[in-house]
Amino acid sequence: MAQRRSGAGVRLAWAVAAAMAAGAIVAAGAVQPADAGLDRDAERWVKTTLARMSLDEQIGQMLVPSFESTFIASDSDAFDRLVRLVHEDHVGGFHVFGGSRPTPGVLLNGGYSSVTLGDPYEAASILNRLQAIAPIPLLNTADFEAGVGFRLEGATVFPRNMAFGAAGDEQLAFEAGRVTAVEGRAVGVQVDFAPVVDVNDNPRNPVINTRSFGEDPAAVARLGAAYVRGLQAGGMLATLKHFPGHGNTDVDSHLGLPIIREPRAELDQVELAPFRAGIAAGADAVMIAHIEMPALDPAPETPATLSRPIVTGLLRGELGFDGLVYTDSMSMDAVAKMLPPGEAAVRAVEAGNDVVLHSPDDDAALAAIKAAVARGEITPARIAASAERILRAKARLGLYRTKTVNLESIATIVGGREHRAMAEEVSRRSLTLIKDDRHQVPLRVGRDAHILYLSVLDYPSGWGIAAPSRTFTKELRDRWPDMTAVELSDRTSRNELDLVRAMAPRFDAVVASVFVRTASYSGRMDLAPPVAQLLRDLAPVTEASGAPYVAVLFGNPYVATFLPELPAVLLTYDYYDLPERSAVRVLAGEAAIEGHLPIALPGLFPLGQGLMRPKSGPLSGGGRTSG
C-alpha cells in the first residue's frame, strides 16, 4: 500500500503537475516575438494556407463573433449556429463572454441582473469542439482585463487596473499578465483584450474609470508595458485598448458616441504616450475605440473605428504598428445605432482594421465586405493583407500544430492558491488611506465593540455576479461579533435614513462601505443625494460620541470628492470579494496600508496622496479604546 503523503507533499505534487501542464500549454502555443519572424514550418503553413483560401475565406478570417461560456450541447440550435459560422462564414475565431440569464422586462421594480460568470470547462469544451471542425485554427479572444476570473467562475480575479496604479509596482502588473495568460491559454483563449492603457484624466468618465491604471501617462505607460510583457511570457497575445485613448470622455460608448476635443499636441503627450510604450514593448494587437477625435479626423460623426486617418494614418503610419488591429465591439450603440452592420463592417475595413469584432450580423458583414470588393471599393490585396496578418498571429502561437486544449489540466492550472495569492497581494498593496483626521485607522476598538456597518449602494439592481458586502459582513463579524448591518441605496426611504441617523450614536464604531459602479450601459456613477447626506451627517454625530467612523469606497474613487466631511476614507478601486476581504484586514490592523493615489481627487487630494499604516497585530477585548 502506498504511503499517504503529507499536506505539504500533496500541495507540492499539485504545484509540480500544474507547472508541467502550464508548461505544456505554453510550449504548444508559445508566442514568438512579433518582429522575430516565423520559423520555416510556420512560414510555410502561412503561405500555403493563404494561397488556397478563397476570397470568402479570407474575409471570414476578419470576422470574430461571440458566444457565452455556459453549457451548450452539441445537439442544439445554439451550437448549430456556431458551427455554421465556422463552415459558412469561415470566421477567424470567437470571442468568449461570461454568461447571462433571461430577466423580465418590467417597469418600476425591474432590478434583476442578467449577467453571470461563465465556466472554464464549458468555455474550453465549446472552443475545442469548434477547433475540431475548423479547417483553419481559430484565434479566440476574451476581455480578461482583471484576469480570467473576470469572465469565468473559479478562475483568478485580479483587481482593476487602478489598483495596480495605486500599488505602483511593475512586477505585480507583469505577474498579473503572466497568470492571466497561463489560465487563458488553458481554456483555449489566445488573445486577451488587455491591457487598458487609457489615461483616465476625466473624473466623470463613466466607462473607463478604474479600468485605467491612472491619470499619469508615464505611470500608465510603465504598467501597461509590464502587463504586455507578462501576457507574452504566459503565451498570450496582448491588446492595447482603446486607441487612440478613451480616458477623457464623459459618455459611455456602449450608449453613445463620445467626443474628445483636445488638440493634437495634448493627445500626443497624454493619450498616445501609453500606446507608444505598449507598441515598443511588443504588443501584438490594438483595439480601436468608438470615439470621435476631431484633432485626428475632422470628419463629423466618424468614430476612430471607422477613420482611415486614425487607423491607417496614425496607428499604422506614424506609430509604425504592424500587428493585429481589432475594432471594439460593433454591437455597441456608438456604431450600431449609426450604421447597419454591413456598412459598418465595410467602413471598418476601409479604415484599416484587420478584425471586425462582434458584429450584430456576421452574415451581413461578410456579404457587404465581399460586395465592396466586387465594386472595387476594397481591393483583394487589402483583404489578403489582413488575412495574412491573422494567419501569422496563429502561426506565432503554434496553432497550426496544436489547436485544442487538455480539459483535464484545467483544474491544475486555473484558479489555484499561488495565483490567488498574487491577486491578494495586489489588492492589499493597493488600498489607499487618503484621509484619517481622527487617527482611527486601524479601528481602535476591542473585539466586543458594538459595530454599525452600513452597506451603501449606488442602486440595488444589477449585482448579478456578487452581492455587495457578502464578504465584508462575514469578515467584519468574524472580528467583531456584535455587528449590526444595514443596506442603504437610492431606494431607501427618508424615514429609514432618519432611523439610521438616530441609532448611530449608540454604537462604538461606524463603518460604511460605499459601492459606486462605473458599469458599461448603466450611465450612472453617483450616490443618491439623500444617502450621501446621511454619510456627511454621521461625521459630527460620531465626533460627538467619540466613535471611530471609517468609509471604505469600492469602485469609483472620485466619490470621495463629494464626501469631504468624512473623517477617514479608504479607497479600494474595485468591487466584490477580494477587495472586501482586503479592506477588513487593514481595518483590523492585520495588514499594512501602503497605496498611493494614481489619480488626483479634484479639490481634495493630489496625485500620490496616501497615508501609511503599519500592521498592528490582532484585536484585543474591551469596547472602545482611547486614541
pLDDT at 246 over 60: yes
Residues in the chain: 627
Closest by alpha carbon to 354, among 85, 29, 34, 92? 92
pLDDT at 27 over 70: no
Q: Classify residue 55: in a domain, yes or no.
A: yes
Name the residue range of residue 489's domain.
Answer: 431-587
Q: Classify residue 604: in a domain, yes or no.
A: no
**Sheet bearing 451-457, strands edge to edge:** 432-436, 568-571, 549-555, 509-516, 451-457, 483-488
Residues 382, 514 share a domain:
no
Give phi and psi for 624, each to the nearest 5.
-70, 135
Q: Between β-strands 95-97 and 141-142, what pairing exists: parallel, antiparallel or unpaired?
A: parallel
* Residue 462 banded pLDDT, cuts 50, 70, 90: confident
Q: Give the pLDDT mean for 114-135.
A: 97
Q: Classify residue 299: in a domain, yes or no.
A: yes
* Residue 12 banded pLDDT, cuts 50, 70, 90: very low
DSSP assignment of 45-90, as one string? HHHHHHHH--HHHHHHHTEE-EEESS---SSSHHHHHHHHHHHTS-
What does the pLDDT look like over 554-590, one tens digit per residue?
Answer: 999 999 999 999 999 999 999 999 999 999 999 999 9
Annotate 485-504 with b (16+ C-beta within 10 A) or e (fewer).
bebbbbebeeeebeebeeeb
Residues 153, 268 share a domain:
yes
* Residue 249 banded pLDDT, cuts 50, 70, 90: confident
CB under 8 Å to 555, separation ≥6 — which residues? Answer: 209, 210, 515, 516, 517, 518, 573, 574, 575
pLDDT at 26 over 50: no
CB under 8 Å to 509, separation ≥6 — which residues? Answer: 443, 445, 449, 450, 451, 452, 547, 548, 549, 550, 624
Residues 336, 235 share a domain:
yes
CB under 8 Å to 123, separation ≥6 — which residues? Answer: 69, 96, 152, 187, 188, 189
Task: Count CB atoms within 10 A of the CB of residue 565.
Answer: 14
Q: Of the ranges 238-252, 315-329, 351-365, 549-563, which one carries the lowest mean pLDDT score?
A: 238-252
Residues 213, 156 share a domain:
yes
Specify the DSSP element, H or E, that contains 488. strand 483-488
What is the spatial distance between Cα 315 and Cα 317, in angstroms, rounded to a whole number? 6
Cβ atoms of 557 and 575 closer than 8 Å: no
Q: Give the pLDDT mean for 514-531.
A: 80
pLDDT at 262 over 60: yes
Last residue of a domain, one of 352, 382, 417: 417
pLDDT score of 9? 37
pLDDT at 10 over 80: no
CA dihedral 559, 563, 568, 570 (to 10 degrees): 0
Q: What is the DSSP letter of 30?
A: P
Cβ atoms of 396 and 38 closer than 8 Å: yes
Residues 393, 450 share a domain:
no
Q: What's the distance, Cα to Cα, between the start and end of the chain in Å? A: 61
Q: Classify residue 219: in a domain, yes or no.
A: yes
Residues 193, 170 share a domain:
yes
pLDDT score of 423? 98
pLDDT score of 525? 75
pLDDT score of 138? 98
Q: Between the ranges 246-250, 458-462, 570-574, where is the mean pLDDT highest? A: 570-574
Distances (CA, A) of 107 to 269, 520, 527: 46, 20, 21
Q: Of the ranges 45-59, 296-310, 506-520, 528-542, which one carries the lowest mean pLDDT score?
A: 506-520
CA-CA-CA-CA torsion sign (524, 528, 529, 535): negative
What does the pLDDT look like over 140-181, one tens digit per residue?
Answer: 999 999 999 999 999 999 999 999 999 999 999 999 999 999
Residues 501, 391 share a domain:
no
Q: Classify residue 579: in a domain, yes or no.
A: yes
Number of domains making up the chain: 2
Q: Of the ranges 31-40, 127-136, 350-359, which one carries the lowest mean pLDDT score?
A: 31-40
Cβ atoms of 293 and 277 closer than 8 Å: no
Give pTM, 2 decimals. 0.93
pLDDT at 538 over 50: yes
Residues 451, 403 share a domain:
no
pLDDT score of 623? 53
Residues 317, 267 share a domain:
yes
Cβ atoms of 481 and 423 closer than 8 Å: no
Residues 402, 525 share a domain:
no
pLDDT at 230 over 90: yes
Closest by alpha carbon to 332, among 348, 351, 311? 348
Last residue of a domain, one of 372, 389, 417: 417
Q: Classify residue 617: in a domain, yes or no.
A: no
Annotate 430-443 with b (16+ C-beta within 10 A) or e (fewer).
bbbbbbbebebbbb
Task: Count CB atoms within 10 A of the CB of residue 308.
Answer: 16
What does the pLDDT look like over 304-353, one tens digit per residue?
Answer: 999 999 999 999 999 999 999 999 999 998 899 999 999 999 999 999 99
Residues 183, 311 share a domain:
yes
Last residue of a domain, one of 350, 383, 417: 417
CATH code for the domain in which residue 471 is found: 3.40.50.1700
Cβ atoms of 597 and 168 closer than 8 Å: no
CA-CA-CA-CA torsion sign (517, 522, 524, 529): negative
pLDDT at 360 over 70: yes
* Residue 620 banded pLDDT, cuts 50, 70, 90: low
Q: Classify residue 24: in a domain, yes or no.
A: no
* Residue 13 banded pLDDT, cuts 50, 70, 90: very low
pLDDT at 626 over 90: no
CATH code for the domain in which residue 140 is found: 3.20.20.300
pLDDT score of 113? 84
Closest by alpha carbon to 63, among 311, 358, 336? 358
**Which residues have a catalytic role annotated?**
254, 328
Percent with pLDDT over 90 in the chain: 85
Cβ atoms of 274 and 251 closer than 8 Å: no
β partners of residue 237? 191
Residues 288, 150 share a domain:
yes
Cβ atoms of 175 and 219 closer than 8 Å: no
Q: What is the DSSP letter of 159?
A: P
* 563: three-class secondary structure by DSSP: coil
Q: Classify residue 619: in a domain, yes or no.
A: no
Average pLDDT across the chain, whole number: 92
What does the pLDDT look like over 168-220, one tens digit per residue?
Answer: 999 999 999 999 999 999 999 999 999 999 999 999 888 899 999 999 999 99
